[in-house]
């Protein structure tokens, strides 16, 4: 990837037993690790400001996940495993770097990868920060707080719902924000809710988005026809299909995990990418008349993603975990980019307090 990194960030190519990819670092090599997992249509580049602001003694780590940026283009996401491929990649990276445990921070799709780590690799976690995460029940096509699908075949989610114009704009690297079907316009509408990101930085962030791997095994992935509106359901490859509720994480594995870490849920007040009325939800677009033949809100309502996350976290707390919720006022889905100082203060306080409690317990136990 030709995108330069900010001063203080070190970019390395790291080969693990699962994936060769670009990894960004900031901090001492033997520091306390904080692993950052980016969202869909982005890359490790999106976390640079946050890596730079970690407390002294912490090592920030952000990788280009499978299917994105400078990750090996021959390694694809098996969507039938949900996002387990990406969670396994993250655990393999910790192995390669020699870390038993890490604090994990995930945004959007990266938050969904974090759910999979909580289910399959809970022993590797020191804490979890869900920074504008997706719903644990997947993206699109569910209708209540516990993720009940609108249809038995999970129609309305997956690669077939992706706007072809967005794919064309990525292939053409169209940076014109006036192209309403283009990625740049979608990012401005759904991700950046303010003009707080400097233009030169936003340029690098958008370029990082265009580095997503394109194809039937990558983005948007393959799709399957359905008799149910909007007449497509998820295929078997790529991140969009992996986010389908058809393949969502088993939340019961999270509730039953022996290592239930503290969770910080940070969300933007104006987030319309992940909300109970998300801007790209077919249920919303159908109600607005932008997708024809909308069956009705009774059949396919907007997915209540925020309510699903809150219900999941409340159930996690009932199962013995704990969480706290932080609302970032006046900002949207990318609040950690738009006002990094505010988010960094919240994140740093959280991981420091967790480590202080861990050290206190260790000391008392001696």
Q: What is the DSSP string of 95-144?
A: HHHT-S-EEEEEEEHHHHHHHHHHHH-GGGEEEEEEEEE--TT-SSSB-S
Half-sphere exposure of 108 (CA within 13 A, CB side): 22
Question: What pLDDT shows up at residue 199?
Answer: 81
Question: What pLDDT shows up at residue 165?
Answer: 86
| pLDDT > 90 in the chain, percent | 84
**Is 364 a residue whose pLDDT tops 90?**
no
**Is 201 a residue whose pLDDT tops 70?**
yes
129: left (phi over 0), alpha (psi -120 to 50) or beta: beta
Cβ 140 vs Cβ 245: under 8 Å: yes
**Is 366 a residue whose pLDDT tops 60?**
no
In angstroms, rounded to a whole number, what is the distance separating the alpha carbons of residues 218 and 76? 6
Whether the bond between 230 and the residue before it is cis, its omega within 30 degrees of 0, is yes
In angstroms, rounded to a whole number, what is the distance separating the alpha carbons of residues 77 and 217? 7
215: left (phi over 0), alpha (psi -120 to 50) or beta: left
Collapsing DSSP to helix, strand or coil, 14 comes out as: strand
Q: How far is CA 317 from CA 52, 140, 266, 366, in A?
A: 32, 25, 16, 28
pLDDT band at 193 (very low <50, low <70, confident <90, very high): low
Model confidence pLDDT, tens digit, residues 8-27: 999 999 999 999 999 999 99
**Is 336 a residue whose pLDDT tops 90?**
yes
For residues 118-145, give the mean pLDDT. Answer: 98
Cβ 59 vs Cβ 29: under 8 Å: yes
pLDDT band at 257 (very low <50, low <70, confident <90, very high): very high
More confident residue, 193 or 282: 282
Torsion of CA 54, 60, 66, 71, to 10 degrees: 120
Token pair 């869900």: residue: 130
Residues 6+ apart with CB under 8 A from 155: 141, 226, 228, 229, 230, 231, 232, 233
In angstroms, rounded to a whole number, what is the distance separating the alpha carbons of residues 238 and 77? 5
Nearest to 245 by CA among 161, 145, 136: 136
Cα-to-chain-centroid distance, residue 361: 31
Cβ 64 vs Cβ 44: under 8 Å: yes
**Is 350 a residue whose pLDDT tops 90?**
yes
Model confidence pLDDT, tens digit, residues 30-47: 999 999 999 999 999 999
Domains delineated in the chain: 10-365 (3.40.50.1820)
Nearest to 196 by CA among 36, 330, 92, 57: 330
Question: What pLDDT shows up at residue 176?
Answer: 80
Question: What pLDDT shows up at residue 360?
Answer: 79
In angstroms, rounded to a whole number, what is the distance separating the alpha carbons of residues 58 and 52? 10
Instruction: Calculate the average pLDDT of the chain.
Output: 94
**Is 339 a residue whose pLDDT tops 70?**
yes
For residues 161-172, give the mean pLDDT. Answer: 90
**Is 77 a residue whose pLDDT tops 60?**
yes
| pLDDT > 70 in the chain, percent | 98
Which of 39-43, 186-190, 362-366 ranks highest by mean pLDDT? Answer: 39-43
């Amino acid at each position: 990837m030709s995108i330069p990194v900010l001063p203080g960030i070190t970019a390395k190519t790291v080969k693990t037993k699962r994936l060769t990819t670009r990894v960004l670092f900031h901090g001492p090599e033997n520091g306390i690790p904080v692993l950052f997992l980016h969202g869909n249509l982005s890359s490790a580049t999106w976390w640079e400001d946050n890596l730079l602001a970690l407390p002294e003694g912490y090592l920030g780590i952000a990788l280009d996940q499978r299917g994105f940026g400078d990750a090996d283009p021959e390694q694809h996401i098996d969507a039938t495993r949900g996002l387990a491929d990406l969670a396994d990649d993250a655990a393999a990276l910790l192995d390669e770097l020699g870390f038993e445990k890490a604090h994990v921070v995930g945004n959007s799709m990266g938050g969904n990868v974090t759910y999979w780590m909580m289910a399959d690799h809970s022993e590797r976690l020191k804490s979890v920060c869900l920074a504008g995460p997706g719903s644990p029940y997947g993206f699109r096509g569910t209708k209540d707080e516990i993720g009940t699908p609108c249809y038995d075949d999970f129609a309305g989610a997956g690669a077939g719902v992706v706007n072809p114009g967005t794919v064309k704009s990525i292939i053409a690297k169209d940076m014109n924000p006036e192209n309403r079907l283009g990625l740049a316009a979608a990012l401005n509408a759904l991700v950046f809710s303010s003009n707080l990101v400097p233009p030169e930085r936003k340029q690098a962030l958008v370029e990082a988005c265009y580095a997503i791997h394109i194809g039937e095994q990558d983005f948007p992935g393959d799709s399957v026809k359905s008799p149910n509106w909007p007449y497509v359901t998820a295929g078997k490859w790529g991140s969009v299909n992996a986010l389908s509720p058809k393949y969502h994480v088993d939340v019961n594995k999270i509730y039953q995990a022996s290592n239930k870490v503290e969770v910080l849920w940070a969300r933007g007040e104006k987030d319309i990418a992940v909300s109970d009325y998300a801007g790209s939800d077919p249920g919303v677009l159908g109600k607005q008349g932008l997708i024809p033949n909308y069956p009705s809100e009774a059949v396919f309502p907007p997915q209540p993603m925020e309510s699903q996350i809150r219900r999941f976290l409340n159930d996690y707390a009932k199962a013995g975990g704990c969480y706290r919720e932080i609302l970032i006022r006046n900002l949207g889905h990318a609040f950690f980019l738009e006002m990094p100082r505010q988010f960094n203060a919240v994140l740093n306080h959280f991981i420091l307090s967790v480590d202080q409690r861990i050290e206190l317990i260790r000391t008392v136990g001696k």
